[in-house]
Chains A and B, each alone.
Chain A
């Protein structure tokens, strides 16, 4: 009995210590430090009052010093809040495009000069537990909710959860808003597999950081209502989008929701160089144009033109950065590569309406895409960059589209950017075309810095 007691005491004791030693156990630390925290706040307050009183009586050493023009000399302590009315940070980014391609504009809108997008951001802490972020994309054809999510601020174990609409955690480019890309457009594999403005979804996003092997790792996962990429199928008239009707919504079953996951791995190679190698996957069911065949006769249920077929994309991305600390204002290099594979429904893989065999239009094969991008900083405000895109042609095995582009980028400041792009695109069965596009983006208001 005594042994049991001692062992019990030992277990309780060791468990208590173990919990106390967990670096993540913020709650435990808070409970032991609450009194200290209150004391700290009081001490800060008293100290500040004392300092302010002393500083008010302190003479300034300004005798005989000529002040340069433009240098205001107001002195202050006890700085108040910058937003005493608790207004959120409101920002706007304008994205202007000038398409001077020799064979006519290459913009979807058919315009040579266009305001491609105005991105409005509204960001603020909601309360001590959450922050809210809204990003609205204003286009020529309306307003789109690009992102609108609530983020937790106080979850333990270095986790964070978002609820709402967000860019899916997939690859390096997809989580960057288009106006803030290094280039004017997403790479062609991203456009083809994830959409022209990246893949979004509405649902739940979570992330956890950890470092069990001594380097930074982050897992990001999301469950969203649907993983949907615009279908490129055309209706009877050229350019007319096809109306896809399925026999049931894709999200009727849990297996029809969209799921996305990404594992980031980051290493410092030195004080000036680092590398990130990450893997991502996204899967979901989406409507794919299909023909229902029964006994050799086309026989679709009423109005059904599509089936919910699983489509997945898997990818790997690698980013190498070099930026010497002392000359970091003037020199830097980024080399980035991403490979991704779209996994399409295979014959007999299931997921089709019961009792009907379906011939899915388009490819059922998996096909690949990749890009390599590099940007070198020439001066404090200028960069040269290049990108090579490669995308397999799904209809023709062995055939692929390639595009090579070069960029000259000028940053008048960190809030405005001017980009000149030349691109040569070689479709698989067509002659090469040349594109010349200029972009200007500018930001007003306090826009949060972008993730590394």
Chain B
């Protein structure tokens, strides 16, 4: 009897799926990538995001608790184009996980599949501010790029978990269908936005402008990452008066005092617009982010 039990236990032990058959562990740098990863991976993955949606993704603290999250990850997906350069290298090195290290199967620089705006031309140095020489990294704010992210995740997850390829593909179709339907529903709002002059705090809304057709006539920052100077603001006020810009768009992690000052001089309104999923409680996923931001801008430019 003991022999039978021992044999049965051995068979069960041998027949059980190996540890690698567990859920894919995905870590993303931002909540937007997390949302899309979750939409594609469904129940076959576990995913966490490092930064919060209401946090400036340029300035995230490389906390050791993140290292613990990344040391067992199968995939670390990040925006790239140096958005996370101040903290992701520390986490990757600290995690000591070859899968997510550069060259590893789980090191996913999402920007590699993006059409990038604002690629620096000519010589680049820091006198130009917090410049991203390889291009503007805020590409997720264009739903077309959201589809590209979803496609990339589908391919990556399928490669690492071939058994789930069909499910990932199915999830991709569902994601794209939902996004397409949302963009169609947003058509009246996009029509209201198209061509309207607006000012943004940071260059992060360039892709959103490409998508919506809103006319970015200036930035509060004289150079990326550089707080506005009085001289720059004076020029910007003139630009706003000349172009009729009545909206200043800024992320909800910037201090709005300066924007309020400019608004008071121009009769414009300041629109705090979350750039990421979770930026405000109502935005629970990527499609929700696009919907929320488009409607808010449409409402503001009326």
- List chain A positions with a Cβ less than 8 A from chain B: 2-3, 6-7, 9-10, 13-14, 17, 20-23, 26, 29-30, 32-33, 36-37, 39-41, 43-44, 47-48, 51, 55, 58, 60-62, 64-79, 82, 125, 128, 153-155, 158-160, 209, 211, 215-216, 218, 264, 266, 268, 271, 274, 276, 321, 323, 325-330, 380-381, 413-415, 444, 448-449, 451-452
Q: Counting CB contacts under 8 A, is B255 at the interface?
A: yes
Complex Cα spacing A452 to B59, Å: 13
Q: For residue A50, which residue of chain B has the nearest CB? A: B151
Across-interface contacts of A274 in B (CB, < 8 A): 63, 65
Known: A79-B112, A415-B126. A36 touches B105 (CB 8 A): yes
Q: How far is the CB of B219 from chain A (nearest CB, A)?
A: 6
Contact of B10 with A by CB under 8 A: yes
Report yes or no: B55 in contact with A48, Cβ–Cβ below 8 A: no
> How big is chain B's contact interface, by range?
35 or more
Contacts of A414 in B (CB 8 A): 86
The yes or no answer to B135 lying at the interface (CB within 8 A) is yes
Residues of chain B having any CB pair with chain A under 8 Å: 2-3, 6-7, 9-10, 13-14, 16, 18-20, 52, 54-56, 59, 61-65, 67-68, 71-72, 81, 85-87, 89-90, 94-99, 101-103, 105, 111-121, 126, 130, 133-135, 148, 151-152, 155-156, 158-162, 195, 197, 203, 206, 209-211, 213, 215-219, 223, 225-227, 239, 243, 252-255
Q: Is the CB of A66 within 8 A of B243?
A: yes
**Contact A73 to B6, CB < 8 A, known contacts A17-B13, A33-B20, A40-B105:** no
Whole-angstrom distance from the CB of B133 to the nearest CB of chain A? 7
Chain A residues lying within 8 Å of B211, measured Cβ to Cβ, are: 61
- The residue in chain A whose Cβ has the minimal distance to the Cβ of B133 is A82
**Could you say which residues of chain A place their CB within 8 Å of the CB of B161?**
36
Q: How far is the CA of A158 from the CA of B94 in the complex (A)?
A: 8
CA distance A20 to B19 in the complex (A): 6
A144 to B120, CA, bound (A): 37
Could you name 14 residue pairs across A and B whose Cβ atoms are closer than 8 Å? Answer: A9-B10, A9-B14, A17-B13, A33-B105, A39-B162, A44-B156, A71-B118, A74-B135, A75-B117, A79-B81, A154-B98, A327-B255, A328-B253, A444-B126
Q: How far is the CA of A323 from the CA of B97 in the complex (A)?
A: 28
CB-based contact B71/A323 at 8 Å: no
Contact status A75-B105, CB under 8 Å: no
Query: Known: A29-B20, A32-B20, A448-B89. Contact between A10 and B9, CB under 8 A?
Result: yes
Q: Are A216 and B111 in contact (CB under 8 A)?
A: no
Whether A65 lies near B19 (C-beta < 8 A) is no
A64 to B152, CA, bound (A): 32
Contact A76 B119 (CB under 8 A): yes
Q: Out of A32, A68, A78, name the residue touching B216 (CB < 8 Å).
A: A68
- On chain B, the residues within 8 Å of A73 by CB distance are 117-118
Chain B nearest CB from A142 CB (Å) reads 30
By the criterion CB–CB under 8 Å, are B55 and A328 in contact?
Answer: yes
Give the residues in chain B near A26, CB-CB below 8 Å. 97-99
> A80 vs B54: C-alpha distance in the bound complex, in angstroms?
31
B194 shortest CB reach to chain A, Å = 8
Query: Out of A32, A48, A66, A125, which one reaches B18, CB within 8 Å?
Result: A32
What chain A residues lie within 8 Å of B254 (beta carbons)?
Answer: 329
Q: Other than A68-B239, A271-B52, give 17 A-B pairs with Cβ distance below 8 A.
A: A6-B10, A14-B13, A23-B72, A29-B99, A33-B160, A40-B105, A55-B115, A69-B218, A76-B119, A77-B113, A154-B101, A209-B68, A327-B255, A329-B254, A413-B225, A452-B61, A452-B62
Are B152 and A77 in contact, with the CB atoms below 8 A? no
Given contacts A6-B6, A9-B10, A76-B135, contact A58 B115 (CB under 8 A): yes
CB <8 Å contact, B133 and A216: no
Closest chain A residue to B255, Cβ basis: A330
B residues in contact with A381, CB < 8 Å? 227
Assuming A36-B162, A211-B68, A380-B255, is B18 touching A17 (CB within 8 A)? yes
CA distance A444 to B127 in the complex (A): 11
Choice from A29, A211, A329 contacting B59 with Cβ under 8 Å: A329
Q: Which residues of B contact A452 (CB under 8 A)?
A: 61-64, 90
Which residue in A65, A153, A209 is a CB contact (below 8 Å) of B215? A65
Q: What distance in Å separates the Cβ of A92 from its nearest Cβ neighbour in chain B?
A: 13
Q: B125's closest neighbor in chain A, by CB? A: A444
